[in-house]
Structure formats: C-alpha cells, structure tokens
Amino acid sequence: MNRFFYLLFALLTLFLPQGAIAENDAQKPAALYPFYLAQKGDIKVYILGSMHVGTEEDALNDKIIDALKGSSKLIFEIALDDLAEQTNAFAKYICKEPCLQKQLGKRLYKEIKERYPELYIFFPIYTDTIPAWLAVTTIVLIDYAKLGFSQNRGTEILLMKKRGKIKIFGLESMEEQMAMMASISMKAQRESLNDYLNMDKAEIEAYINDLYSLFLEGDADRLFEWYMQASNLYAASKESIDESNQKMIFDRNRLFVDRLKLHLDSHAPVFLSIGALHLGGDKGVLALLREEGYAISRP
C-alpha cells in the first residue's frame, strides 16, 4: 500500500491546473506542519514538508509565511510553472497500443476497472494505454478526492499564493521524476496494487486520515516512522517495499540535498518545500543536512 500513497504525492503535480488556484481563504487556525530551519554559518534554508493535496480548511501559519517572504528563492521538487514540459514528459509514457491489462494482468485490470470507473474521467481516451504506475497513482488520487482532499489546496499551491515575486525553482525535472516511477519493477507495481485492493474502504480512510493528522502535527520523524510501520503492516512483499522506498525516497533524498547546494546563498535564506516523507528518518533530508554540518531547528 505504501507505494501508492507516495506515488500520489510525487505525481499529483503532473495534473495540477496551474490557473485553477482556489481563492477560498476561510480556514481554521493554521497547523504546525513539518517546518524546519537548517543553518550553517550564514546560510539558512527554511524547509517545509509538503502534502500535494489538502482540504479547504488548510492554511499556512504566520511563521511559514514570514519565512517565505524573507527568502530569495522558493524551491520545489519540480517547478510547477512549465506546463509544456509536463505535457511533453507525460506524452512519452503513453503506450502506443493498449498496455495496461498486459502490465497488470487480467485479474487486477478487471478489478480496477470495476472498482474505479473514474479512471475514464481522468483518461477518457487513453485509459488502456496509460502505464500501470500512472493508473495506480490515479486510483489513490480518486480515493483522496472522495475524502474531500483537493489538488488546489496542496502545500505548493498555498505557497504559490503567498510567494509574491519570489522565483520558483525545481530540484528535478519532470522527465526525471516520471522516469524514476517507470523504473519500479512491474512485480513491485503489481504487488502494490494487490495490497491496495485488498484493503476495504474503512482501512483506506483510516490510513489517509492518520497520515494527514500526523502531517498537520508537524513532526517529520514521527510521520516517517509511522509510514514505515504502515508499509510493513499492509504490504505483502518486503522486497517490493525496499525497491520502491529506495528509488522513490532514499535515492531522491540524496539527490535533493546535492542539488539544493546549487541554490544556497549566504546573503539571503532560501525556502525549500518537498514531500514531507522525504524529511524524516536517518536517511531523510534533515539527517543528510546534519551530516553536512547544518544545525536543524524549529523556527
């Protein structure tokens, strides 16, 4: 199950309508969120763990907004303002002929088509020619939407509404992100889908709500620990878990830190916002920055 939720977090930005930023600002008091300051000498990096979907009540707290406005750059996993790049990257992974059933097998293919007819809404023409990793990512998006989560209330969108004229940068390209997802073995993708479909509605809702609650509480290490425990609870194959986590989380954590260095400036802070599951744990971005000599604190 774990791969599906992380796939969602990484992929939602691909289908985000950039002009469709919600304007409803009536929210409950802002949550803490996983928000940190990494400092080494005169270099400061504000780090906000993101969730790429949210509810209409979500809002950034004043500390986050103040840190953003005082920063010289806003850095995401990928820059969200290049629709042409998104479209071109997506087009490369559409199969030239029907491939979804072949990749998933007849049983899993039939089950998702019966359980998730909404796939035809997302891909009315291409449903049978989308790759398996994109189909299963969309399935999770559908379940989030059923619980009231919207792409237009994700952390990145909230930041974009408050950034003013601060320029946005990305740590990886759309092509790199999609190639990483496509590199996960078909065995792991099928096992992940099977794990997910074995869950009932109540289990899916509990997982999503628990994840969201921990995200709002703002402890990156606690959130990552919960994620790893949940992964082992629901997934059938440790080998598949390890493969997916290595490619989707741990390898990218190191990539993010290495590329972040290219944006650092001793004259002004930078603001980094990446998926919250990248921050915690002994292989997380916060731990890697500590190894680089940065002091990590809560602003």
Q: Is residue 23 part of a domain?
A: no
The whole-number average pLDDT for the span 158-180 is 91
Among 14, 28, 15, residue whose Cα is nearest residue 56: 28
Residue-level pLDDT at 48: 98
The whole-number average pLDDT for the span 37-44 is 97
Is the per-residue pLDDT at 202 higher than 70? Answer: yes
The whole-number average pLDDT for the span 259-273 is 94
pLDDT tens per residue, range 9-35: 333 433 333 333 334 444 455 688 999
In angstroms, what CA-CA distances link 215 with 35, 173, 210? 10, 26, 9
Q: Could you tell me the end-to-end alpha-carbon distance of the chain, in angstroms, rounded to an integer?
A: 33
Task: Yes or no: say if 271 and 49 are a contact pair by the CB < 8 Å rule.
Answer: no
138 lies in which domain range? 2-18+28-297
The helix/strand/coil state of 212 is: helix
Q: Is residue 9 part of a domain?
A: yes
Is the per-residue pLDDT at 3 higher than 90? Answer: no
Q: Is residue 197 part of a domain?
A: yes
Residue-level pLDDT at 184: 93
Dist CA 22 CA 200 (whole Å): 31
Q: Is residue 134 part of a domain?
A: yes
Q: Which of the two residues, 42 and 122, has the higher pLDDT score? A: 42
Residue-level pLDDT at 82: 57
Could you list the beta-strand ranges (E) of 26-65: 35-40, 43-50
Consecutive H or E run containing 210: helix 201-217
Our count of domains for the chain comes to: 1
pLDDT tens per residue, range 224-265: 999 998 877 766 677 888 898 999 999 999 999 999 999 998
Q: Which of the two residues, 114 and 121, has the higher pLDDT score? A: 114
